[in-house]
Chain A
Amino acid sequence: MKHIRNFSIIAHIDHGKSTLADRLIQYTGVVDARNFQDQILDNMDIERERGITIKSQAIALPYRAADGRDYTLNLIDTPGHVDFTYEVSRSLASCEGVLLLVDAAQGVQAQTLANLYLALENDLAIIPVINKIDLPSADIERVKAQIDSELGLDPETAILCSAKEGTGIESILEAVVRQIPPPVGDPESPLAALIFDAKYDAFRGTVIHCRLFAGTLKAGDVIRFHYNDATYRVEEVGRFRLQREKADALRAGDVGYIIAGVKTVSDVRTGDTITHEDRPCAAPLPGFKEIKPVVFASIYPIASDDYEDLAVSLEKYKLNDGSFVYEKDSSAALGQGFRCGFLGLLHLDVVQERLEREYDLSIILSVPSVRYRFIMKDGASGWVDNPMHYPDPLSIIKSEEPFIRAVMMLPDRYLGTVMKLCMEKRGVNSQMNYLSPGRVELTYEMPLAEVIYDFYDRFKSVTQGYGSFDYDLIDYRESNLVLLDILVNGEKVDALSQIVHRERARARGVQACDRLKDEIPRQMFKIAIQGAIGGEIISRSTISAFRKDVTAKCYGGDISRKRKLLEKQKKGKKRMKMIGNVSIPQSAFLAVLKSDTD
């Protein structure tokens, strides 16, 4: 056990986490350079394209250290986005130490700090690493000063590296061996294993990724999940190389996987404790939380014939994403569909993209919403995450909406515009803290609904990319809410309805009408788009009918070309949804949430 090190890399998004992981893998020779595909740990297309890690991965790196001994370094990769904080915390709970990666040009950012706090909560050894030192804009001294003043870490322990160019890799591996303590735990004690991830394998069912804190686990054992008392017989245990590698047993201190005939990923809860059925541990490992979706939207097939395909695809998708939830839903405008819950807007984007790309579906998402709480005159209370289920306004005595605490870091020259933005987003209880001359940490409490509504894009834009942002859900607070409906040629499109704060309703209505005017193409008749609260029209825009749409010439040589163009356009048409007699492009539904001020 003393030759095992369990560690993670944590960083703000784009600070080079996946690239560093790749270099560590390459350096330790798990994979030869010829077969190397960049960012191995991010094995989904979307992750590679977006450069973010969505689901954790793990790998065991064999390493002979300067002391001549052979070590197994278990690298547990963590998701790199604010939507996945809980997953990160469970991965960190499986480690004894972290590499805290800071971009040499961008310096300490909001997620750097948020991740540091997570590491400190788990009592981890922290090794600061300054990455991207090859960049012309790298400013190592400034970043060291930030590590000292903003993170409270010893800047002299920071390792300089360029993951891109492969410099500093050996120093990092040595530091992992020397500064991160080996795991402790008694292999003879009752089993206590922490689930930090789960993947679906079409042949084997759910593959549980876990860290053993006590006990020993082998094939044939009967295990029990603490969360729901479900029991399973273990079929296989093993460790992570690039692929899974079967082992006789996992012991306290090990990071590995369990295959135990668990059908779906949703049967497993990240953060749950696994123990033996016949000799259970006294108490579960700390930190378990049931994570709940916070953003909701309905998914509809563009062609109603595709409903069954969509149902099958969601079921398959769900196999591998335990944090995604859905149930049947139907809309007067869009027909049969599903109401889905997501951890955040990025999670929503990822699900949408994967459904379209991997399952070849054309889908429409309704305007995303948070979950509101209503207390009614008859004393009943209820949760509403779907504007279609907005209760009768006359019977509501109190409405509440979720609030978050947003932590932002930014150069102080942007302070004015960011505070203005936060106020516009109904931010309250601001706190400001100078981290170092010129750099501010700003905290606001804000309604989550305002954050999913274009806050992040605008924050990035007003800080010209120099601001960073992180958030936590805090509580529900009383709010004055109304239902904003959108009418297209007089017909209510329920999938475009939004629950909004009364004071923001008019501005939202105007904005929604303007955005839809940009998104909906001219059609054969004039289209009126209206925003309405109750029966009252509060905003309006008009799309005039198109005029000319024909090519002048079509003779012998033009026909094939023209047909090919039509064939192409016909495919594009599938991404339009007919509502009444108006075709509305898929993009219109999400565009309602985007601002046009940037």
Chain B
Amino acid sequence: MRVPPDIAIPPGEPLTRITGTMNSENLPGLYLHIPFCRGKCAYCGFYSRTDLSLIPDFLKSLRAEMTLYREAFSRIDTVYLGGGTPSILGASHLEVILDAVRRQFVIADDAEITVELNPGDLTARALRTLRALGVNRLTLGCQSFDDAVLAFLGRRHSAGQCRDAILAVRAAGFDDLGLDLIYGLPAPGGDPGTAFRGWLASLQTALSFQPEHLSCYQLTLEADTPLAATLALSPLSLPDDDLSARYFLTTSERLEAAGYRHYEVSNFACDDDHRARHNRKYWDHTPYLGLGPSAHSFDGTRRWWNPRDFDAWVGALRDGMRPIAGEEILTLDQLRLEALFLGLRTREGIDMEAYRKRYGFDLCAERGDKIAQLAAAGLVRADGYRFSPTRRGLVCADFLARFLS
């Protein structure tokens, strides 16, 4: 089996491990949604509450929810604490949660255990605790190294706090750190050039810390967020498609020049081993269990989601019920479509033979012409076995999926 030249395979690695997408035999991942924040950021559409007195209820319900799924998801190899703001919880709370996880589930020895952190609420003690609890990967929600941008986004930390937090993380001995960054803000004073250069400066600062992982998200307006309301009334606007593409492509070029691999639309890793193992499960149809309000789960054919409502979630668990707001059983067509658009969001792209085996659809035979058209337009690389988006393909991955679906 040949592999496109832009996919590097470390010598000695079995191919199946690298091209492990489509492999339903992967162990599931566990996501824990910590639905608390000190305040709401202007752009964020995730579910969270600011009333911290609910934390004891949350911990109790979370443990109850784990027991409901311990049979179905007995063995896992990634744990991800996201939110919300997991770092809002004290060391003892985190200990309670991770203890419960270890008691209810069998966690693989080499499991990836990630916690999202907010630069504003980090303490050396908390970091020591996390380390002691076996957390081996941290992501830090820096978003920017520009105080004006942080203020615009409604973040409650400064660029200086980002720097301090990174140094503290390193000092605590963590060697797998991811930084989250946001680009594509409305240009203040109507000068898109200034905003663009500001982004590159933030990116450069981020690189100076040599993080193992970077997530660079284009700012997206989520419905019902303060930012959406503000922009609706303001002359400011988000970058148009052409400028967005320039942000995207320049970011990708800069980071790849610095040795990172642009392995998913918004994600970069210093090498293949540092790609986010947990997140990759979402993109290759590996089962995942999501606990906490608003979390989504998937068991291979069925997807369900918890209510975006703390009280409803607690209430259901108090009654011994699965706290489910909705559920769908995916048809084969739906699985095919998902695998297509998810695969096209990754630089690995789609292994057509694996796709045929798993979803019973021969992309090579049925979509060969179209794949060839995309290849001719420079949007994918294809070799008859696999097709994968180029950099220019990634920036229009949604189009690729529509075109091939």
**In the complex, which residues of chain B have a beta carbon less than 8 angstroms from the beta carbon of A524?**
373-374, 377, 379, 396, 399, 403
Give the interface segment out of B119-127, B153-161, B335-343: B335-343
Which residues on the B side are within 8 Å of A525 (C-beta)? 377
Q: Is the CB of B282 within 8 A of A549?
A: no
Would you list the 3 A-B pairs with minimal beta carbon distance, nearest first? A547-B245, A549-B396, A548-B244
- Docked Cα-Cα span, A502 to B213, in Å, equals 65
Of chain A, the residue at the smallest CB distance from B303 is A560
Which chain B residues have a beta carbon within 8 Å of chain A's beta carbons? 31, 217-220, 241-242, 244-246, 248, 265-266, 279, 282-283, 288, 290, 294-298, 303, 305, 328, 334, 337-338, 341-342, 345, 373-374, 377, 379, 394-399, 401-403, 405
* A381: interface (CB < 8 Å): no
User: Once the chains bind, are B266 and A546 in contact (CB under 8 Å)?
Assistant: no
CB pair B395–A548 under 8 Å, yes or no, is yes
Cβ of A503: which chain B residues have Cβ within 8 Å of it?
A: none
Q: How far is the CA of A524 from the CA of B328 in the complex (A)?
A: 34
- The tally of CB-CB contacts under 8 A between chains A and B is 100
Interface size class of A (residues with CB under 8 A): 20 to 34
Interface stretch among A400-408, A486-494, A562-570? A562-570
Assuming A556-B288, A557-B294, is B374 touching A566 (CB within 8 A)?
no
A552 contacts B402, CB within 8 Å? no
Kindly list chain A residues whose C-beta atoms are within 8 Å of the C-beta of B401. Answer: 566
Extra pairs beyond A524-B377, A559-B296, A559-B298 (13, CB < 8 Å): A525-B377, A546-B396, A547-B245, A547-B246, A547-B396, A548-B248, A548-B395, A552-B265, A556-B290, A556-B296, A556-B297, A557-B294, A567-B337
Contacts of A573 in B (CB 8 A): 402
A536-579 residues at the B interface, CB under 8 angstroms: 546-557, 559-560, 562-563, 566-567, 569-570, 573
List chain B residues, Cβ under 8 A from A569. Answer: 402
Q: When A557-B305, A563-B341 are in contact, do A549 and B290 touch as well, CB less than 8 Å?
A: no
Q: Would you mind naming 27 contact pairs between A and B with Cβ atoms under 8 Å apart?
A: A524-B373, A524-B379, A546-B396, A547-B242, A547-B396, A548-B242, A548-B244, A548-B245, A549-B397, A550-B265, A550-B397, A551-B220, A552-B219, A552-B220, A553-B217, A553-B220, A555-B279, A555-B282, A556-B295, A557-B294, A560-B296, A563-B337, A563-B341, A566-B337, A566-B402, A566-B405, A570-B405
Q: Which residues of A contact B377 (CB under 8 A)?
A: 524-525
**Residue contact B303 to A550, C-beta cutoff 8 Å:** no
A581 at the interface (CB under 8 A from B): yes
Closest to A547 in B: B245
Chain A residues within CB distance 8 Å of chain B:
524-525, 546-557, 559-560, 562-563, 566-567, 569-570, 573, 581
A408 to chain B, nearest CB (A): 44
Report which residue of B297, B328, B398 has the largest number of chain A beta carbons within 10 angstroms of its beta carbon.
B398
**A565's closest neighbor in chain B, by CB?**
B398
A556, A563, A567, A581: which contacts B31 (Cβ < 8 A)? A556
Residues of B within 8 A of A559 (CB): 282, 296, 298, 303, 338, 342
**With A524-B379, A573-B402: A553-B266 Cβ-Cβ less than 8 Å:** yes
Q: In whole angstroms, how far apart are the Cα atoms of A557 and B288 in the complex?
A: 11
With A556-B298, A570-B405 as contacts: A550 and B220 at CB distance below 8 Å: no
A547, chain B: closest CB distance, angstroms: 3
Which residue of A546, A562, A563, A581 has the most chain B CB atoms within 10 A of its CB atom? A563
**Nearest-CB distance from B306 to chain A (Å)?**
10
Across-interface contacts of A556 in B (CB, < 8 A):
31, 282, 288, 290, 295-298
Q: Measured between alpha carbons, how far is A556 from B297 in the docked complex, in Å?
A: 7
**Residues from chain B with Cβ under 8 Å of A550 in the complex:** 265, 345, 394-399
Chain A residue with Cβ nearest B247? A548
What's the Cα separation between A567 and B288 when bound, in Å?
23
A547 near B241 (CB under 8 angstroms)?
A: yes
Min Cβ gap A468→B in Å is: 42
The answer on a CB contact under 8 Å between B296 and A557 is yes
CB-based nearest A residue for B326: A560
Tell whether A566 pairs with B341 under 8 Å between CB atoms, given A524-B377, A552-B220, A560-B303. Answer: yes
Cα A581 to Cα B345 in complex, Å, equals 23
Rounded to whole angstroms, the CA-CA distance of A547 and B396 in the bound complex is: 7
| Cα of A548 to Cα of B402 in the assembled complex, Å | 14
Q: How far is the CB of B324 from chain A (nearest CB, A)?
A: 14
Does the CB pair A546–B241 fall under 8 Å? yes
Residues of A within 8 A of B294 (CB): 557
Which chain A residue lies CB-closest to B379?
A: A524
B73 to A: closest C-beta gap in Å: 14
A557-B305, A566-B405 known; A548 and B241 CB under 8 Å? yes
> Are A552 and B217 in contact (CB-based, < 8 A)?
yes
A548 contacts which chain B residues (CB < 8 A)?
241-242, 244-245, 248, 395-396
How far is A555 from B297 in the complex, measured between Cα atoms in Å?
11
* Cα–Cα distance between A549 and B279 once the two chains are bound (Å): 21
A549 to B240, CA, bound (A): 11
Q: How far is the CB of A435 from chain B (nearest CB, A)?
A: 51
CB pair A552–B288 under 8 Å, yes or no, is no
Asked if B241 contacts A554 (CB within 8 A), the reply is no
In the complex, what's the smallest C-beta–C-beta distance from B173 to chain A, in angstroms? 28
Q: Is the CB of B341 within 8 A of A562?
A: yes
**Residue from B31, B305, B399 within 8 A of A546 (CB atoms):** B399
Contact between B241 and A570 (Cβ–Cβ < 8 Å)?
A: no
Question: With the chains together, A525 CA to B218 CA distance in Å?
Answer: 24
Cβ–Cβ < 8 Å partners of A547 in chain B: 241-242, 244-246, 395-396
Task: Name which of A549, A552, A555, A556 has the most chain B CB atoms within 10 A of its CB.
Answer: A556
With a CB–CB cut-off of 8 A, which chain A residues contact B345?
Answer: 550, 554
- Which interface residue of A547, A548, A549 has the most chain B CB atoms within 10 A? A548
In whole angstroms, what is the CA distance A556 to B295 when docked? 8
The distance in angstroms between the C-alpha atoms of A567 and B242, with both chains bound, is: 26
What is the bound-complex CA distance between A552 and B260, given in angstroms? 18
Q: Which residue of A lies closest to B338 (CB)?
A: A563
Report A427 CB to chain B, min CB distance, Å. Answer: 44
Q: Is the CB of A549 within 8 A of B296?
A: no
Query: What separation, in Å, do the CA atoms of A546 and B283 have in the docked complex?
Result: 25
C-alpha spacing A9/B296, complex, angstroms: 63
- Within 8 Å CB of A555, what residues of B? 279, 282
Smallest CB gap from B328: residue in A: A560
